[in-house]
Amino acid sequence: MIQNLPPPRAPECRDLPLDALAARIGDELESLAALSAEVQSALSLCIFSEHTDPSAIRGLQGIDRITQALEDLGRLMSAVSTEMPRDVNLHAVPILSRLRLHELVNNLDPSVERTAAVEDEDEGEIQWF
């Protein structure tokens, strides 16, 4: 049986100010840097085997490099956004549709209020992915 489905909606046609997008990218990079620093702190509390491979430890130290790079890139994008002309716009759908994470789309979209990072709960079940 064939169902009568509504016609597909046309993609939303709206502009995305480039300077605002760059500022949002800067904010997101800084948030990711903070998250990376939290991961680094959590790992430093873990107890590793006495026989942990030195190359594995060196690999974990790469998190510090990631954190520093994200912090720098966040500051750079925030500064770049202030130097951009205010009248440059992009089409929102082709740009934002490349992202998979719904929260990231919302955080980068200047027309949507940024969501606050969820605070860690001290209690509850931890689920490993």
Asked, for residue 118, whether it belongs to a domain, the answer is no
| pLDDT band, very low/low/confident/very high, at 4 (cuts 50, 70, 90) | low
State what percent of residues in the chain have pLDDT above 70. 80
* pLDDT over 80 (residue 96): yes
Counting the structural domains of the chain, the total is 1
* pLDDT over 50 (residue 98): yes
Asked, for residue 22, whether it belongs to a domain, the answer is yes
Domain that holds residue 104: 15-46+55-108
* pLDDT for the residue 38: 94
Higher pLDDT, 128 or 88: 88
| 77 contacts 19 by C-beta, under 8 angstroms | no
